[in-house]
Amino acid sequence: MISPPRSNRAAALNAGIAQVQGAFVATLNAQMCPMPNWLDLLLAACDDPQVVAVFGSHQTLTLETSAQVLVDRVEAARPQPPRRMTPGWLREAPGNPVAWAIRGADHALFRTRLFADSQVGRFGEHYDPPTFYGVSEAYLCYRLLRAGYTLAHVPEAYVWRSPPPNPVMAQARIEADTTARTALDLLLLLIERDPAARWRLITAPRSYLRTCTAWLTATLRGRSQPAARLIRLRGALRSVVWLAQAHLLQRREPH
């Protein structure tokens, strides 16, 4: 799906989902190579009728270059989600790294019926771009949890991925990914702490945007974040705020 106006991965995922007639749909990126029993492992997690989406793990295909080693180390250092992610898990610990826990639709299994749920819908094609890569996936899974569904993580179900060819490209991808997901995690945390936040996104988006960026800046300065990273994160948060606003306006939920 490379031709405007639907030039993003979310559009490709939705196009595939629209053609599915079975009870499950598995999604993989072109550069992903699943282990032989990958699908069996994900399907086994669906023996629990409460589970509607299952995610596995990444493993770098080879470790021959410094770029491959860099990507592999970052993947290994990421927080690992529990085997079951429930609405209770999200409510009890709103600081949980929701976006990190959702490993992405580049290696996942979904129950087809969930995409017909009006509280969930499909992947947001207006999120990727102009915001940043992967938002539509993380936000879909956030909506799943808010709608009462359960997600599963099967760490032993691996897909192998071809990493960027050089360290500069690898570092750039890691920076962009980390910036986007950190901003999304922080915004979701803020919304969970302040239930009125979702309405401020609609009624006073500009002032609330300033509040969000100020909160984010203060939070990260306390963690000794470099100034350049603060600027990137504030820009990413700005995109996520407008993303959330667009989603809420689209839903037109009653006050």
Q: What is the chain's percent helix, strand, coil content, to nearest 5?
A: 50, 15, 35
Q: Are 20 and 137 in contact (CB under 8 A)?
A: no
pLDDT of 52 reads 92
Q: Are 23 and 111 in contact (CB under 8 A)?
A: yes
Tell me how far apart the alpha carbons of residues 133 and 124 are, in angstroms, rounded to a whole number.
Answer: 12
Strand 107-111 versus strand 51-60 pairing type? antiparallel
Residue 250 — pLDDT band, cuts 50, 70, 90?
Answer: very low
Phi-psi region of 134 (alpha: psi -120 to 50; beta: other; left: phi over 0): left
User: pTM above 0.85?
Assistant: no
Q: Is pLDDT above 80 for 216?
A: no
Peptide bond into 164 cis (omega under 30): no
Q: What count of Cα atoms within 13 Å lies in the side-chain half-sphere of residue 1?
A: 16
Average predicted confidence (pLDDT) for the chain: 67
pLDDT digits (tens, 9 = 90+) for 134-175: 667 777 877 888 888 999 988 888 887 766 566 666 666 655
Structural domains of the chain sorted by starting position, each given as residue range(s) with its CATH number in brackets? 9-251 (3.90.550)
pLDDT of 159 reads 83
Q: Is pLDDT above 70 for 126?
A: no
Cα three-residue angle 1-251-23, rounded to 5 degrees = 55
Q: Which residue in 198, 195, 230 sits closest to 213, CA to CA?
A: 230
**Residue of 123 and 223 predicted with greater confidence:** 123
3-state secondary structure of 110: strand
Tell me how far apart the alpha carbons of residues 121 and 144 are, in angstroms, rounded to a whole number.
Answer: 9
Mean per-residue pLDDT, 65-92: 66
